[in-house]
Structure 1
């Protein structure tokens, strides 16, 4: 039940041990203060997180402190850079958190996705903004962002498959309103 031991156990398991992971997460989550539980659940939909992003998402100013506490406790949080500005949750832990978030905050999740998409856009992380807009089913925003990012994704990053996945996720009605997106989709078919 100790967080470092639980982390080691989680790292040793794979998706076939789901019942054990669920048990560990339940035990770990139950022991967290309600504010920390809320932070974990509401940020679980992020593929990567930083204090400024979490502050925007949660309308808070405490995210840096919360991230530092979780990091110091070795609490399923993986730093993505040496300055410890960006993190991600352990993928199995994040999956279970997302399931719990769907149950705990079903009406708030679209707003959280939208806030994340806007933050990523404002900070020039267009790929992340697109992912959040698509996940939150804000297809109009996603279509506009895809149109802005498409040429960079294709020519600078060489990510035709990424662009194709985005375009495939968009409903046909949103593609039809943006001819350039239809053109990119046609090019991607060849």
Structure 2
């Protein structure tokens, strides 16, 4: 049986990046995915490294999915959201095992969306669905190109509707984005791609 190599039979992971305005954006996206989502979700949200974060607890109140701070050497599970801790890059290997890195900042940020996206692209190739939400700066733009080069799919929040347009605009400007959508439409497209049999 031959299949279009650009259309994976099944996605393996969803990776999401956001910065300024991201808590609202993540809440809207994750809250609309619903229980039983069949793949893990990895999240980079730029956070103040000087403070303990309560982002996982905040998001857990707004979604049926399990939400936790990512831990090193943790094996990802379907239906769980893994949030990069402050001041650590979040990476994953081909076995679905997470690692946290204190390597130098990328575009002045750590965690870096670029490094997360490059990591999932290397590990899962066409099985990656990457989403860029609201945020200032250009983190994620290099990463979405890596995802697209490896055959993955990229969604960006429409910069015109984003609270902060820098990150989604930089992603769209690469030409590597497959879907440019208002925030409230992203979850339905993610579900449609990841769970086509449930649509």
Settle same-fold status: TM greater than 0.5. no
TM-score normalised by the shorter chain: which range applies?
under 0.3
Query: TM-score by structure 2 length?
Result: 0.26
Q: TM-score, normalised by structure 1?
A: 0.27
More helix by share: 1
